[in-house]
């Protein structure tokens, strides 16, 4: 059996390529939309991708299941658990609908679906048996059920998809899934999760790629609650201290349930300054400045968005651009066509499909300098709102007195909580997230001044004494 983990550092997301070397058939689990990596794995190993599937209706990225099936002719398999509210849409009419116990057989390799609700009602995990080596499963693809050192959060349906108190049922479902599904497995079974450290799908995910049933049974934070059959204590601990859910999660949920659109096949336009200036003047395109925020502060295109670098491009772009309300094409600042294409690949992972082209430099374009404020001037500066765009857990641990919290991943969707026509001074920890959020708010028409050095810079100013407060305070 061949088993490859494909990890996206941007969204902290893992997909898996599993193949039978005897028959040359392979399955991909939880693929992303830029599918070249899976096609290359198949080519390199002389395999055909015969099946593509996913563990659940994802919230943090747009699934590549339809994209990969269309490119390869692979059969789609999706969950048929969770009830009618969690049934995949008509775009998946040709897919095999899986119930608990359904088996996918590829030569010597068998994947058995295990219904593990909690993170979502329809969630499946997959027990994997390498028939050439063993007669029992040795691996479990746990999706967003069990992570290394943590569990999939059950509150996203409330936080991002408009649910009401679904978190409590979800938490109790997770308790039962652990007790009745995971902990009945032998300790040697390896657990391969769909996310790692940095994902917002849990609150304390480990950076290690895999774990085992025995390790989690012995050392996880939740193990004592299961040993003592303390469901109430488990629910309370699971739900406390969860990070902010990014607002774009709701869009991902809906699109993944209905079926993500297939990607358009078009060549990127390379713009010159002369060719781009009239489009910027007419507001026909959105300019995306991909430089570090300190470079942006030396001058950038008016009303541009700051999405700094490739490493977190999908994450930051999902905070600053809402495709549901913004149809203008995007033009990227990129060193060359290859870099621009890589940036585009990141953006399509969160459903931003409108990248039109790129330009290699700012030379010849009208520039503006985003306003900033030194921490020593904050007390004397007239402003209507001091905005902390960090997560609520960071805010609770310490913030600038008088600041209200609304995280960078949510602020563009909650502008009704911001002053209409007033001046906002905004900060994050070091300035990167704040630059993304500030650029999005300026494009939306708000006057935003960035605090130089952000929170860390303010802490170094004389007389700075942080305030602490319960997490969750937001702008009123």
The domain segmentation of the chain, as residue ranges, is 2-258, 269-359, 372-459
Q: Is 294 helix (H, G, I), strand (E, B) or coil?
A: helix
Rounded distance between C-alpha atoms, residue 109 and residue 126, angstroms: 12
Q: How far apart (Å, rounded) are the C-alpha atoms in residues 293 and 320?
A: 14
pLDDT in tens, the chain (476 residues): 999 999 999 999 999 999 999 999 999 999 999 999 999 999 999 999 999 999 999 999 999 999 999 999 999 999 999 999 899 999 999 999 999 999 999 999 999 999 999 999 999 999 999 999 999 999 999 999 999 999 999 988 776 656 667 899 999 999 999 999 999 999 999 999 999 987 776 666 778 999 999 999 999 999 999 999 999 999 999 999 888 889 999 999 999 999 999 998 889 999 999 999 999 999 999 999 999 999 999 999 999 999 999 999 999 999 999 999 988 999 999 999 999 999 999 999 999 999 999 999 999 999 999 999 999 999 999 999 999 999 988 999 999 999 999 999 999 999 999 998 899 999 999 999 999 999 999 999 999 999 999 999 999 999 899 998 754 444 43
- Rounded distance between C-alpha atoms, residue 254 and residue 297, angstroms: 36
According to the model, what pLDDT value does residue 243 have? 81
Q: How far apart are CA 194 and CA 153, in angstroms?
A: 13
In whole angstroms, what is the distance from residue 343 CA to residue 84 CA? Answer: 37
Please choose, from the candidates 460, 439, 459, the residue with its C-alpha nearest in 3D space to the C-alpha of residue 450.
439
Strand bridging mode 330-333 / 286-289:
parallel
- In this structure, whether the domain defined by 372-459 belongs to CATH 3.40.250.10 is answered with yes
Instruction: Pull the structure tokens for residue 130.
Output: 């390498």
Helix, strand, coil share (%) of the chain residues, nearest 5:
30, 25, 45
- Strand order across the 330-333 sheet: 269-270, 355-359, 330-333, 286-289, 305-306
The residues facing 193 across adjacent strands are 143
**Exposure b/e, 209-239, CB count within 10 A at least 16 = b:** ebbbbebbbeebebeebbeeeebeebbeebb
Spatial CA neighbour of 116 closest among 82, 157, 78, 84? 82
* DSSP state for residue 8 in the 8-state scheme: E
Chain centroid to CA 462: how far?
A: 38
List Cα–Cα distances, 152 to 90, 115, 178, in angstroms. Answer: 27, 14, 12
Q: Supply the pLDDT for residue 164.
A: 67
The bridge status of strand 75-79 relative to strand 48-53 is: parallel
The answer to whether the CB of 114 falls within 8 A of the CB of 124 is yes
Fold match between domain 2-258 and domain 372-459: no
Q: Across the strands, what pairs with 321?
A: none
pLDDT at residue 474 in the model: 46
CB of 116 closer than 8 Å to CB of 128:
no
Q: Of 278, 282, 338, 290, whose CA–CA distance to 314 is shortest?
A: 290
pTM: 0.94
Q: Which residue is associated with the tokens 């290394």?
A: 148
From the options 2.60.40.10, 3.50.50.60, 3.60.15.10, 3.30.410.40, give the CATH code of 2-258. Answer: 3.60.15.10
Rounded CA separation 169/173 (Å): 6
Q: Would you say domain 269-359 falls under CATH 3.40.50.1820?
A: no
Q: Which of 440, 218, 214, 168 lies closest to 317 in space, CA to CA? A: 440
- Paired with 405 in beta bridges are 388
Using an 8 Å Cβ cutoff, are 449 and 373 in contact? yes
Per DSSP, what are the bridge partners of residue 66?
none
Residue matched to tokens 């968005």: 305
d(CA 22, CA 246): 43
- State whether residue 60 is helix, strand or coil: coil
In angstroms, the CA 54 to CA 254 distance is 15
Question: What whole-number distance in Å separates Cα of residue 424 and Cα of residue 227?
Answer: 50
Which among 161, 172, 170 is positioned nearest to 121, based on CA atoms? Answer: 170
C-alpha distances out from residue 153 to 11, 202, 235, Å: 16, 5, 11
Angle, in degrees to the nearest 10, between helices 166-177 and 231-239: 120
The full length of the chain comes to 476
């Amino acid at each position: 059996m061949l088993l490859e983990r494909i990890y996206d550092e941007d969204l902290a997301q893992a997909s898996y390529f599993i193949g039978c070397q005897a028959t040359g058939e392979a399955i991909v689990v939880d693929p992303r939309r830029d599918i070249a990596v899976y096609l290359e794995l198949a080519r390199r190993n002389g395999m055909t991708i015969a099946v593509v599937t996913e563990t659940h209706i994802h919230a943090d990225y747009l699934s590549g299941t339809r994209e990969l099936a269309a490119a390869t002719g692979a059969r789609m398999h999706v969950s048929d658990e969770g009830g009618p509210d969690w049934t995949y849409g008509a775009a998946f009419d040709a897919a095999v609908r899986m119930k608990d116990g359904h088996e996918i057989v590829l030569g010597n390799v068998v994947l058995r679906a295990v219904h593990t609700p909690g993170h979502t009602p329809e969630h499946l995990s997959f027990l994997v048996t390498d028939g050439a080596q063993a007669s029992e499963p040795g691996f479990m693809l746990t999706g967003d059920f069990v992570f290394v050192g943590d569990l999939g959060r059950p509150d996203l349906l409330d936080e991002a998809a408009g649910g009401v108190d679904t978190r409590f049922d979800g938490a109790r479902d997770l308790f039962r899934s652990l007790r009745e599904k995971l902990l009945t497995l032998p300790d040697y079974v390896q657990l391969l999760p769909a996310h790692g450290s940095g994902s917002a799908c849990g609150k304390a995910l480990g950076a290690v790629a895999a774990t085992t049933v025995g390790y989690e049974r012995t050392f996880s934070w939740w193990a004592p609650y299961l040993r003592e059959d303390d469901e109430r204590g488990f629910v309370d601990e699971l739900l406390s201290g969860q990070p902010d859910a990014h607002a774009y999660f709701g869009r991902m949920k809906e699109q993944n349930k209905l079926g993500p659109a297939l990607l358009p096949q078009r060549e990127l336009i390379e713009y010159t300054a002369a060719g781009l200036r009239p489009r910027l003047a007419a507001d026909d395109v959105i300019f995306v400045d991909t430089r570090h925020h300190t470079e942006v502060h030396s001058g950038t295109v008016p009303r541009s968005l700051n999405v700094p670098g490739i490493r977190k491009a999908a994450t930051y772009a999902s905070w600053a651009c809402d495709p549901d309300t913004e149809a203008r094409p995007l033009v990227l600042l990129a060193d060359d066509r290859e870099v621009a294409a890589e940036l585009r690949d990141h953006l399509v992972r969160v459903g931003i499909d409108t990248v039109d082209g790129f330009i290699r430099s700012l030379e010849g374009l009208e520039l503006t300098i985003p306003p900033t404020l030194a921490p020593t001037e904050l007390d004397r500066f007239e402003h209507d709102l001091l905005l902390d765009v960090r997560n609520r857990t960071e805010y609770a641990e310490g913030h600038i007195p008088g600041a209200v919290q609304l995280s960078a991943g949510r602020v563009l969707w909650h502008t009704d909580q911001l002053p209409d026509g007033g001046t906002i001074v905004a900060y994050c920890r070091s300035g990167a997230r704040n630059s993304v959020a500030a650029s999005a708010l300026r494009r939306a028409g708000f006057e935003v001044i960035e605090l130089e050095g952000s929170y860390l810079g303010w802490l170094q100013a004389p007389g700075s004494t942080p305030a602490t407060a319960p997490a969750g305070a937001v702008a009123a």
